Structure 1
Amino acid sequence: MELEWNGDKIAAVLRDATLDGLELAAEHLLQVSSTLVPHEEGDLERSGEVSTDPDQEAAAVSYDRLYAVYQHESMNLRHDNGRQAKFLEQPQNDPTERQTMLALIAKASGKPLQ
Structure 2
Amino acid sequence: MSRTRLRWNGDAATGAIREAAARGLLLGAEHVLAASRQRVPINEGTLERSGATSVDESTMTATVSYDTPYARRVHEDMTARHSPGRSSKYLESVLPETAGEVQALIAAQIRRALG
1:86 matched to 2:89 = yes
1:74 matched to 2:77 = yes
The equivalent position to 2:67 in structure 1, one of 47, 64, 84, is 64
Greater gyration radius: 2
Q: Which runs of 5+ in 1 are unaligned?
A: none
Structure 1 residue 58: deviation in Å? 1.0
1:18-51 per-position Cα deviation (integer Å, ceiling 9, x unaligned) = 1100110000000000010010000000000001
CA distance in 2 between counterparts of 1:50 and 1:91 reads 15
1:29 matched to 2:28 = no
1:38-79 per-position Cα deviation (integer Å, ceiling 9, x unaligned) = 100000000000011111111100000011011111100111
Q: Which AA in structure 2 matches 1:68?
A: A
* Aligned-pair identity (%): 43
| Aligned pairs for 1:4-43 within 5 A | 4-43=7-46
Give 2:105's aligned residue.
104
Task: Return the TM-score normalized by structure 2.
Answer: 0.93
SS of 2:54's partner is strand
Structure 1 residue 112: deviation in Å? 1.4
Task: Return the TM-score normalized by structure 1.
Answer: 0.94
CA distance in 2 between counterparts of 1:2 and 1:101 reads 39
Tell me the number of residue pairs that the alignment of Structure 1 and Structure 2 aligns: 112
Structure 1 residue 2: deviation in Å? 2.5
**Stretch of structure 1 that moved more, 101-110 or 39-48:** 101-110
SS of 1:87's partner is coil
For the aligned residue pairs, the C-alpha RMSD in angstroms reads 0.9
